[in-house]
């Protein structure tokens, strides 16, 4: 029961974009088409899950015993960059279809603050291995949900009449703000 | 001293482990790339300008090898590049098209085009164009804030006296400036086309003349003078058909507004 509640809270109440404001760059940058937004979301889910697993292992088994917790940021960046490279090579060889679907977004995730954010948050909240990985996966699914919703709205916006001064980015930012308010409604759900 | 050493050593070890894993992985997961892709990639101009319609030079090279993109698709590489790529692909480069260059169709330098106000805001043509119709009275004029210069990957554009100047020798006709210009002042034309009407003002003569000393008033004297039927006057300004024009320059001599140039 606890686990299920935790998953729901990761996706809805503690949504990475609308509640923690992490990963806003790809959220606005890659959300003009539903198709690319989905690719990006899946790529993020992929990387965030693996990154939280490895970050937890390195932190608990290497950094904490040696009292090097202050090195977390740099160590996590190293891990994430290495992992993304590895995943890219692996996908290119074994799943070329998925590799070409993710395309440029996979390497872009190396420098995504949501991925680093989930690793540091796991440490800050003191999650165990299971909860760290769950947090990684379901926070990323929350990101996927948010970016796909946003892409859907933006596709509709393309064909609607918008005042000249609001076209493009202004209306996207207003939309994002309204969606964040809507997501605040989930507060208190869990 | 020791904690610093530890920190360094730990990071180095983590880095080393990842390095080893990645080296190993690159061997295990090695994918054979068609060597023609790398060769074609080297023949491209390498500016990632996107004029070919593919995301970057790598995308273009892959598309050429797959046969989706034409061998002469890289405009910045020019005829020379097309020939090299064709040689790699074992295909004919096709009829050589004349080299194109981008030209600025406006002469509204400071003192010639009337200024409506002094623009002191964010340095961008697109922004300036939205403030009360732009800082120049002429609504067709080059705004001169350098949006085209910022988009030029080849350093061919400079700003002189408030309008853009394109260096023919550096221009590769990638079209980035054409897309960047909010006023559509920049056009692509054959490099040999040295005779051109450098104004696009479609207002009536009286209005056009009142906003710029060098505006085309659409009088049609050039059209009468042209023996090759290359000039048409539409929407209040003259334009020259590069296919018919013989570059004789007779039109420039009679233009009362000096908006046809031959250099």
CATH code where residue B82 lies: 1.10.15.40
CA distance B183 to B186: 8
Query: Does a structural domain hold residue B230?
Result: yes
Question: Are B115 and B163 members of one domain?
Answer: yes
Those residues whose C-beta lies under 8 Å from the C-beta of residue B166, and which sit 6 or more positions away, are B101, B102, B103, B104, B156, B157, B177, B186
Are B103 and B185 contained in the same domain?
A: yes
Q: Is B13 inside a domain boundary? A: no
Nearest to B29 among A68, A78, A92 (CB): A92
Asked if the C-beta of A62 comes within 8 angstroms of chain B's C-beta atoms, the answer is: yes
Residue B21 domain-assigned? no
Nearest CA in chain B to A71: B7
Task: Determine which of B5, B9, B15, B25 to mutate to test the interface with A (most A C-beta atoms within 10 Å).
Answer: B25
Residue B93 pLDDT more than 60?
no
Which residues in chain B are closer than 8 Å to A85, comparing Cβ atoms? 22
The predicted model gives A56-64 an average pLDDT of 91
The partner residue sitting opposite B6, judged by closest CB among A66, A78, A93, is A66
Structural domain ending residue among the three candidates B89, B121, B155: B89
Return d(Cα B157, Cα B102) in angstroms, integer.
10
Is residue B231, in this structure, part of any structural domain at all? Answer: yes
Is the predicted pLDDT of residue A140 greater than 90, yes or no? yes
Residue A159 structure tokens: 């064909």
Q: Do B184 and B200 fall into the same domain?
A: no
| Contacts with B3 from chain A: Cβ below 8 Å | 67-68
Name the minimum distance, in Å, from the CA of A58 to any CA of chain B. 9
Residue B254 lies in a domain: yes
Q: What's the pTM value of the predicted model, to 2 decimals?
A: 0.57
Touching check for A93 and chain B: CB below 8 Å? yes
CA angle at residue B178 from B175 to B184, to 5 degrees? 160
Q: What's the confidence (pLDDT) of residue A147?
A: 93
Percent above pLDDT 70 for chain A:
98
Same domain, residue pair B77 and B125: no
Based on the fold, state whether residues B182 and B261 are members of the same structural domain.
Answer: no
Same domain? B248 vs B223: yes
User: Could you tell me the pLDDT band of residue B45, with boundaries at 50, 70 and 90?
Assistant: confident
For testing the chain A interface, which of B6, B13, B18, B127 should be mutated: the one with the most A CBs within 10 Å? Answer: B18
From the list A1, A20, A153, the residue with the least C-alpha distance to A10 is: A20
Domain-terminating residue out of B89, B106, B130:
B89
Residue where one domain finishes, among candidates B146, B172, B191: B191
Q: Taking CB atoms and an 8 Å limit, are A86 and B21 in contact across chains?
A: yes
The reported pLDDT for the residue numbered B95 is: 55
Residue B23 belongs to a domain:
no
Q: Are B51 and B102 within one domain?
A: no
Contact B25 A78 (CB under 8 A): no
Query: Among B10, B26, B29, whose Cβ lies nearest the Cβ of A62?
Result: B10
Q: Please check whether residues B174 and B200 belong to one and the same domain.
A: no
d(CA A63, nearest CA chain B) in Å: 8
Structural domains in chain B (count):
3
Main-chain phi, psi angles of B190, to 5 degrees = -60, 145
Could you tell me the pLDDT band of residue A113, with boundaries at 50, 70 and 90? confident
A82 vs B11: CB contact, 8 Å cut-off?
Answer: no
Averaged pLDDT, A91-111: 77
From residue A43, alpha-carbon distances to A38, A87, A119 in Å are 8, 10, 16
Identify the band that residue B79 occupies on the pLDDT scale cut at 50, 70 and 90: confident
Q: Tell whether A102 lies on the interface with B, counting CB pairs under 8 A.
A: no
Q: Is the pLDDT of residue B94 over 70?
A: no
What rounded mean pLDDT belongs to chain A?
A: 87
Specify the DSSP class assigned to residue B53. S
Residue B154 forms part of a structural domain: yes
Contacts with A78 from chain B: Cβ below 8 Å: 11, 14-15, 18
Q: Range of B62's domain?
A: 36-89
Contact list in A for residue B31 (CB cut-off 8 A) is: 92-93
With CA atoms as reference, the chain A residue closest to B127 would be A165
Q: Are residues B179 and B261 in the same domain?
A: no
Tell me whether residues A78 and B18 touch, CB distance under 8 A: yes
Residue A136 phi, psi (nearest 5): -60, -55
Alpha carbon distances (Å) from B172 to A29, B102, B153, B195:
29, 8, 10, 20
CATH of residue B244's domain is: 3.30.70.20
Query: What pLDDT, in 10s, does the model give residues A30-49?
Result: 888 888 788 888 888 988 99
Provide mean pLDDT across the span B232-240: 89
- Bridge partner list, B186: B104
B153 and B237 assigned to the same domain: no
Q: Is residue B1, in this structure, part of any structural domain at all?
A: no
By C-alpha distance, the chain A residue nearest B58 is A104
Same domain, B104 and B180: yes
Per-residue pLDDT tens over the stretch B155-190: 899 998 889 999 988 888 888 899 899 999 999 888
Are residues B185 and B212 part of one domain?
no
């Amino acid at each position: 029961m606890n686990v299920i509640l935790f998953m729901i809270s990761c996706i809805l109440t503690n949504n990475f974009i609308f509640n923690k404001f992490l990963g806003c760059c790809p959220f606005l940058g890659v959300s003009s088409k539903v198709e690319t937004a989905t690719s990006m979301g899946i790529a993020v889910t992929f990387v965030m899950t693996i990154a939280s697993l490895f970050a937890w292992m390195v932190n608990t088994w290497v950094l904490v015993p040696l009292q090097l917790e202050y090195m977390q940021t740099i160590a996590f960046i190293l891990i994430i960059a290495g992992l993304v490279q590895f995943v890219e090579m692996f996908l290119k060889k074994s799943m070329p279809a998925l590799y070409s679907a993710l395309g440029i977004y996979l390497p872009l995730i190396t420098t995504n603050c949501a991925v680093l954010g989930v690793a540091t948050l796991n440490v800050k909240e003191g999650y165990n291995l299971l909860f760290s990985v769950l947090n990684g996966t379901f926070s990323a699914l929350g990101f996927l949900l948010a970016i796909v919703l946003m892409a859907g709205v933006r596709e509709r916006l393309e064909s609607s009449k918008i005042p000249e001064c609001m076209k493009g980015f202004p209306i996207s930012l207003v939309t994002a703000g309204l969606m964040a308010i809507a997501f605040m409604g989930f507060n208190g759900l869990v | 001293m020791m904690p610093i050493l530890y920190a360094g050593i730990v990071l180095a070890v983590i880095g080393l482990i990842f390095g080893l894993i990645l080296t190993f992985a690159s061997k295990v997961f090695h994918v054979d790339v068609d060597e023609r892709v790398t060769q074609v990639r080297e023949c491209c101009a390498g500016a990632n300008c996107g004029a070919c319609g593919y995301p970057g030079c790598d995308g273009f090279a892959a598309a050429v090898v797959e046969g989706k993109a034409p061998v002469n698709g890289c405009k910045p590489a020019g005829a020379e590049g097309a020939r090299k790529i064709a040689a790699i692909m074992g295909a004919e480069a096709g009829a050589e098209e004349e080299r194109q260059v981008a030209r600025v169709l406006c002469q509204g330098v400071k003192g010639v085009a009337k200024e409506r106000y002094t623009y002191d805001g964010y340095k961008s043509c697109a922004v300036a164009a939205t403030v009360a119709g732009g800082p120049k009275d002429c609504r067709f004029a080059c705004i001169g804030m350098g949006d085209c210069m910022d988009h030029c990957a080849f350093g061919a554009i400079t700003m002189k006296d408030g309008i853009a100047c394109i260096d023919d020798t550096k221009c590769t006709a990638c079209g980035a400036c054409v897309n960047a210009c909010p006023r559509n002042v920049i056009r692509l034309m054959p490099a040999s086309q040295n005779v051109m009407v450098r104004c696009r003002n479609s207002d009536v003569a009286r209005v056009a003349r009142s906003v710029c000393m060098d505006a085309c008033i659409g009088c049609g004297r050039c059209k009468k003078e042209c023996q090759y039927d290359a000039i048409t006057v539409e929407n209040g300004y003259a334009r020259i058909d590069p296919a018919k024009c013989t570059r004789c320059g007779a039109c420039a001599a009679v233009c009362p507004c000096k908006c046809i140039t031959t250099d």
